[in-house]
Amino acid sequence: METRRARYDRYREAIAGEPLPTALVDLDALDANVDAVVSRLHGSGKTLRIGTKSIRSVDLVRHILRRAGPSFRGLLAYAPAEARYLAAQGFDDILVAYPTAQPADARLLAEANHEGKRISITVEEPIHLTILEAAAAPRGVRIPVVVDIDVSLRRLGGRVHLGVRRSPLHEARDVADFAERIASSPHLEFAGLLGYEAHIAGLPDRTPLGPLPPGAKRAMKRLACAAVTTLRREITSEFERRRLPIPLFNGGGTGSVAFSLGDATLTEITVGSGFLGSHLFDHYDDFRPEPAAFFALQVTRRPAPGFVTCQGGGLIASGAAGPDRLPIPWLPECLSLLDLEGAGEVQTPLAVPPDVTLALGDPVFFRHAKAGELATFFRDYLLVRGDHVESRALTYRGAGECFH
């Protein structure tokens, strides 16, 4: 097994001569993560959808699809403009996982479906349907829509809510009523359900950086898993009672792969971050992907014995502000951020253990907390195989695209 020291030397050799900062993806680690996900899929009867929000590079999406083979079904995008861009790159069967209330977005979807692409979008309120119908009617198409369900954990009549704030639909009868409204529309197609357990997938089991101790996290996740399973079964039973077919039922994420694969109601799950292995996923019990994506900063200062300072580094992840949103120095091993400075926009000081020597100009390799957000800071990824750069992968930013 490769040591962290050997890995540092290999990456340093690979990017020698490259301007810093830079970002890289270890192709061997990426391939191992794809293989691990695909192997878990076998025998589950489910397909996998790639979460493009966690990749944000057409080149990398294509690489993952080639590696995975027939196990995957389409892409999960996060914005209509992104889905339209991906369709123009030759992809099909794209599900936009977040609803829109913008007529311009709806027109993009109508145009793409009119051109023969299949782009569906989640909906959860009547206004979403009205806007989509208005865009679809002039083009003579039916836009496929997927009903988004809030599967958060509720207690005490809804006064206690554990989970993200998503859809207002969280009762089986309401979900089925909404699906029947869609099925009756001449301009919309009921394409399925999405019930993403974000409060399970997004909560590491063991991280020391979060607000809850591991025991409390595991207990909360057990309760949440049971509630999600019950709700999704109630919904499928209600659809069966009304003889409403469910073309697809999407759920899951990197942090809940094992749970989602065991849920018989789901037809597919989504994985994105698990391919690149951002550091928030180091602390899950069921699936820990290999670190595959990094950014490198140069050492520019040695302010005192036991310290170095790198240029740049303030690549902070979205979400509730806290130490778990900071990037972590990963290579060389045992470097650490300083509590009073953290990761700065123009410089990042690090504490260096006595057995590590860093010269001015040496690279330090960091890992971002979230996989996809790293791509927003760089125009491309260096694709490293062994100790050399095999090729480069443009990010959305490098392709001149910016999606919100």
The C-alpha atoms of residue 18 and residue 212 are separated, in whole angstroms, by 41
pLDDT of res. 350: 98
- What string of pLDDT tens digits covers the 404 residues of the chain? 889 999 999 999 999 999 999 999 999 999 999 999 999 888 888 999 999 999 999 999 999 999 998 888 899 999 999 999 999 999 999 999 999 999 999 999 999 999 999 999 999 999 999 999 999 999 999 999 999 999 877 665 656 666 677 888 889 999 999 999 999 999 999 999 999 876 666 666 666 555 566 666 666 777 777 788 889 999 999 999 999 999 999 998 887 888 888 889 999 999 999 999 999 888 777 788 999 999 999 999 999 999 999 999 999 888 878 888 899 999 999 999 999 999 999 999 999 999 999 999 999 999 999 999 999 999 999 999 999 999 999 999 999 998 86
CB atoms within 10 A of CB 402: 10
Tell me which residue of 253, 281, 284, 280 sits closest to 269, measured CA to CA: 253
For the domain that residue 148 is a member of, what is the CATH number? 3.20.20.10
Residue at 373 is within a domain: no
Cβ-contact 266, 239 below 8 angstroms:
no
The answer to whether residue 132 is domain-embedded is yes
Residue 134, CA distances (Å) to 131, 179, 182, 317, 379 in order: 5, 18, 14, 37, 37
Here the tokens at position 304 are 């005192």
Query: Tens of pLDDT along 168-182?
Result: 888 999 999 999 999
Give me 253's structure tokens.
């994420």
Q: How far apart are the first and last CA of the chain?
A: 41
Cα gap 327→314, rounded to integer Å: 8
Q: What is the pLDDT of residue 357?
A: 94
| Interacting residues of 70 by C-beta distance below 8 A, sequence separation 6+ | none
3-state secondary structure of 126: helix
Domain membership of residue 358 (yes or no) is no
**Predicted local confidence at residue 322, as pLDDT:** 85
Residue 138 maps to a domain: yes
Selection from 81, 28, 75 nearest residue 49 by Cα: 75
Question: In this predicted structure, what is the pLDDT of residue 252?
Answer: 84
What total of structural domains would you count in the chain? 1
At 83 the pLDDT is: 97
Residue 204: per-residue pLDDT: 65
SS3 96: strand
User: Quick one: tokens of 77?
Assistant: 């995008």
Rounded Cα distance, 357 and 353, in Å: 8
Residue 113 lies in a domain: yes
Residue 178 is assigned to a structural domain of this protein: yes
Strands (E), 171-322: 188-194, 249-251, 268-271, 293-304, 307-311
Containing domain of residue 73, as a range? Answer: 28-276
- pLDDT value at residue 219: 66
* Structure tokens, 351: 């504490």
Which DSSP string corresponds to 133-151?
HHHHGGGT--EEEEEE---
Helix (H, G, I), strand (E, B) or coil at 397: coil
CA 310 from chain centre, in angstroms, equals 28
Residue 282 in tokens: 């180091």
Single pTM value for the model: 0.91
The pLDDT of residue 208 is: 59
Is residue 182 within 8 A of residue 190, CB to CB? The reply is yes
CB 383 within 8 A of CB 27: yes
Q: How many CB atoms lie within 10 A of CB 304?
A: 9
CA atoms within 13 A on the CB side of 238: 18
For 89, the enclosing helix (H) or strand (E) is: none
- Identify the CA nearest to 309 among candidates 349, 336, 340: 349
Which amino acid, residue 77? A
Phi, psi of 7 (to 5 degrees): -65, -40
Predicted pLDDT at 151: 81
Within a domain: 186: yes
What is the distance between the alpha carbons of residues 389 and 313, in angstroms, rounded to a whole number?
A: 22
Alpha carbon distance 355, 72 (integer Å): 45
Distance separating alpha carbons of residues 173 and 179, to the nearest angstrom: 10
pLDDT on residue 283: 76
125 closest CA partner among 169, 77, 187: 169
Q: Is residue 227 part of a domain?
A: yes
